[in-house]
Amino acid sequence: MKTETHKNLLSEINLKDNWEFPERKNNYTFNEDDVIDAYLKGKEDGINSNFKALIKVLNENVQTTIMHRNELNNYLLKKSIQPVYAFLKIISVNMFELLTVIPSDKLIDEKFFEVYDFVTDYESKINNEYYKLTFSFTKTGESFDFNALESDGFYLKYEYNKSDK
Q: Strand order in 95-102's β-sheet? A: 132-139, 95-102, 85-92, 154-159
Q: Could you list the pLDDT tens digit for every one of the 165 residues in the chain?
A: 455 665 665 666 666 666 666 666 666 667 787 778 888 888 887 888 888 888 999 999 999 999 999 999 999 999 999 999 999 999 999 999 999 999 999 988 888 999 999 999 999 999 999 999 999 999 988 888 888 889 999 999 999 875 554
State if pTM tops 0.75: no
- The residues pairing with 128 across neighbouring beta strands, listed in sequence order, are 131
- Burial of residue 4 (number of CB atoms within 10 Å: 0-12, 13-18, 19+): exposed
What b-and-e string marks burial along 41-53, b requiring 16 or more CB atoms within 10 Å of the CB?
Answer: eeeeeeeeeeeee
* Residue 107 CB partners (closer than 8 Å, separation 6+): 137, 138, 139
